[in-house]
Structure 1
Amino acid sequence: MELRVRRGPGEGVFGGLRGVLGTPNPSPRPLSPNFPPFPPIVLPLCPNFPQFPPMAPPAGAVGEEGARAGPGGFLEGILGGPGDPQPLPHPQVLFPEPPEVPPGQVEPPKSDPEGPPPTPRRPSRAGPDPRMGSERVLRVRLLAAEALAAKDRRLAGLVRGRSDPYAAVRAGGRRFRSRTRYRELNPRWDECYEVIVDDVPGQDVEFEIFDEDIDKDDFLGRCKVPLSRVLSSRVVDEWLPLQDAPSGRLHVRLESLEPRDSAAMLQRVLHSNRLQQPEHGPRLSAALLRVFLARAAELPLLRGSRPPAALVSLTVRDVSFRTRTCAPSPEPVWDEGFSFLILNPHEETLELQVQDEAGPALGALLLPLAPLLARAGLGSDGWEPLSGGGRLLLRAQLGVLVPQELEQRAAGEEEEGEDEDDEGEGEDEGRAPGGLRRRRPPADSPPEPTAGPRLRLSLWHHREQHKLVAIVHGCRELRAPPKELPDPYVSLLLLPERSKRRTGVQKRTLNPDFDERFEWELPTEEAAQRRLEVTVKSTLSFVTREKEALGKLQLDLTRVDLSEGEPRWYELQDERSLP
């Protein structure tokens, strides 16, 4: 494009287009010349120009007043004298003549009348995540199998023997493997697995049974349960026939746990998990933590004032996730969500580490989960400061995983409490923490002691697994020996079998906390025929192994409510006063 600009005979400056080179169909566009103090020139580019000889400027050429050639052409005759050619007969635009500037004075640059573009406001809360609220936790309990095929042979294959079965479980994109039960055709596993799932159609919970061998494992059968069935009914507890096998069936219990924003139920969930915790396998989860990471702001620059290409790693216990790596920027945006299974919110912390893709750490954040329990909705949403500088915008929300059985029990207690309130009975006397009603102890049970030597104990009978479960929580105000503080421990003896269990030793205390769990194989019909003898002892001498009894308790299980396993205080008697 070629442009000519000159001073006219009156006030103002005239400009005209001489031609467009190499553009068959030019279209209107703005031209921004580099000769101050004129405003940008905006001219329509018309395709019908007379043919003028091209004006090719030499490299680095400048006009008479120091203005450089504009893009696509050459400015000539800028503010020329009276000998310059007349204005071209092309469309002309009149520009006002700039004010005169005194010699030696540099005119300050003029600011944009509209001002700089406004800086976008940072959001104060994290945006919504479509997945938050739709996730559930699937709890898979692998119990037992019956009538499995015998794959191991004896006497060179002449005698059929047994199998060494184990189970492979697939659910929610994860795979679990059970323990191997050697030389069994009717194995019992009692193992539990947990996985986070979404309500996506077409998913199944799959089970396969194998016989473990040195060379190649033998296939014993398979079965599956549609995930949609578990999510709709919440609990599926069945014996499933094995397919592609001559015989056998598998006993599983599947439960869908939906996160609840009820901090009042957390303690009951924690206690219920302790009672139902399998002997083998990881601890049961009490809550689901959902984290939505939106963006960061004010991240420190790298060496050479280079913005970082940031990513974030999120960790709870030994479970970690990483975000994608953003383009280099001090304010990266991720908009990603993550979920974690939480064993106990009172004890766990979410760790976030912001770093550049090349490795340097940019900042860190430790977010304890316990404070979330006191907030509305069990969550927080906003900016959090990083230890190395900068901030993170995230939302963290807890959901308590309440089993269906516990939920129904709590609802029943609420209804019972409403009936009692209607009858005019006391409102607060029978309330547990969180507003739930305490279940009344049996009429002939002694009242719970509030002072003196006492033991806190939970007893529960697992009818499905035929087990008696005991949890020793702790002791208070034990009788002090004459010389020094005791090293107490608790011994439990199930009579008449005399099957013994004992806790660890707590050093130098009268108020020990144990929180230890014990089991006995005990069918339901035999539970009423047993007695439990509990003794609190202290070791007096490591050399002689001499022990001293600090208190004793004898319980007839027929007088104990074994259906719920609620913790209860029991008075400890002096051993010499007992028959």
Structure 2
Amino acid sequence: MYRALAFFEQEERNVQQSLTSSDLPSWVNFPDVERVEWLNKTVRQMWPYICQFVEKLLRETIEPAVKGANSHLSTFCFSKIDMGDKPLRINGVKVYTENVDKRQIIMDLQISFVGNTEIDVDVKRYYCKAGIKSIQLHGVLRVVMEPLLGDMPLVGALSLFFLKKPLLEINWTGLTNILDIPGLNGFSDSLIQDIIYSYLVLPNRITIPLVGDIELAQLRFPMPKGVLRIHFLEAQDLEGKDKFLGGLIKGKSDPYGVLQIGNQLFQSKTVKESLHPKWNEVYEALVYEHSGQHLEIELFDEDPDKDDFLGSLMIDMTELHKEQKVDEWFDLEEVSSGKLHLKLEWLSLLSTPEKMDQVLRSVRADRSLANDGLSSALLVVYLDSAKNLPSDRFNFNHDVLKQASVYKSLKSGKKTSSEPSPYVYFTVGNKSFESKIRYKTNEPMWEEAFSFLVHNPRRQELEVEVKDDKHKCTLGNLTVPLSGLLEEEDMTFTQQFSLRNSGPSSTLKLKLALRVLCLEKQTSASDQLSSVQVRKASEVKPTVPSQRLSASESPLPPAYTTPTPPMEASTHSLHRREERKEEPSTSNLSTTISNSQKHLPHKDSMASLASDISLPFATQELQQRLRQLQNGSAPSPYPLGEIQLTVRHSSQRNKLIVVVHACRNLIAFTKDGSDPFVRVYLLPDKSRTGRRKTSTIKKTLNPVYDQTFEFSVSMVELHRRTLDIAVKNGGSILSKHRGLLGKVIVDLSGEDISKGWTQW
């Protein structure tokens, strides 16, 4: 891998020496995702000091918090903290220039950390020692700099968060010792990950103020950009996965859908024995960042053992935000057949109470007395702090005291700790949230935010209960009618509320904001065509057997006259360079085109490319390349282009390592080029978690990625697996410029992958 990277860097230096800046194409000077080796060199230089900061954070912040979280951990301490000498690496940076507020800068950092970390912990009370041997972290970290100022330091604050859960792997030592400690039998690797996600994954974020007068709460807990209402309606022509008589008879499927936006996950009901299921379900998801986020949908066939994959879909939230309303059939990806009917509505957040009655009528909340149904408003609750919570045993709420553990202590005469461990329980309708616990304090500071989708704010209330986790009793409660927010300026107010059934001066400080959910684009799909190009079932003509034509014999047919091809026929092939020598190749790289066709006009690839993208510019370019190939004037024998890969297996870590270096001579989807990205599967796993994807490089036919992906697989299992690598155009699902640029199948059974290889 390092040799390949060094080769690319040397080639880049040679090109820059021989060409002036004006001679280079724009994607070299201004790529969408930029390589930032200067930043990696800076991080490498700063790494020892970053490690010092992490050690200080662990000892001064994390260690006291762990000690106070559980009485069994009162002797917890870090005995060794070594972050290792391998610094975090930034594989690329994307800076957003469209749909961004003028007073902010938004950038995405593709980070990768494979550290030889050693962190040891000691719980002396139980003579327990455990630790972390290594950590791996891979994900996209968003950095938001806002507000931009006219004075130094020019930026008011930094906000850091992951748009979706990063890939995190922790190699533990002595984990079983921790599980033996009383009260920690629920401790697990996933629990630690969930704790990290609760601080760093959207909508959670870390905000670092750079000047003193910035309103930190507004930056840490910004209002969502909008709400996406998803009508998950029906599907057609799904694959039949249930088979009988040893696979001789194909049956039907039991399909269900999994939908995800950020860390919000929805699962539909299962429709039994159907290839044309109807769900007719509606979900509502908060969208905090429409740039860079996607609605991801996967369909599965429910089985008793392992559910089968039925197709997937990924919709760019930026395009959806522009469209506002979409009602379309979408072709499912990664499968030979199947399409999904969705109705998607972008709901804007308005602080105008005049719109409330109109929205209530549209969701029929004005007629129904129920508290569930489609939402008409969004309530955001900012929990700030509490003061003078009851700490003396005589100030506890005696209405619920008899149910509390402290009551038994009082009756027995035992000494009780006076300081409560409070948390707050919020409820609106059928939805509830709990705040974090603040240990041993009667004046806790939370600084947390919670969002509720509200059916009818004219009737519903926010119920608040302050509880004591230590004594298992209520410290006070209050009720806030949401109708009062409609009368407030900007439908927002901040107040120090007096608690009922609490101490004489116990208060809770809350900030409440209500926003009306409004569909601003009211035109129907029939009134205005969207940019979605979908092949309807009625438009697909029956398959007519015909003799295949070469590029020189017939023009390419338009897509709507082309039947949907099976999976084998619709794959395009990127070719590996033929070795000039007669020795066996260093890899066994197979493509979907046979060897006898590699230097002939690629009729199957040409036809399938046309049926897949249906773009005149792309098909004309392919025809031109094929004609050049026929008359011997082609610059390359591979009309769809090439991809450079490094493939290696690490037996020590049981990992398959795939490095996607670059592509060259790809087909241009438009006159501006293509927006290619690379998708990698280790077959037969085609689940969401098994998918790896590079960044999208805009407007280029020769993208450079240099991105590394890993798959957990043993050497024995590896010989039964296959790499499926596809190069795709990164247009959104709402764009007609999406499609497959080419595909490579890498057979891993015939070689010693542990030695590794790098080649086109």
- Answer yes or no: same fold by TM over 0.5: no
What's the TM-score, normalizing by structure 1?
Answer: 0.44
Larger Rg: 1
Bigger helix fraction:
2
What's the TM-score, normalizing by structure 2?
Answer: 0.34
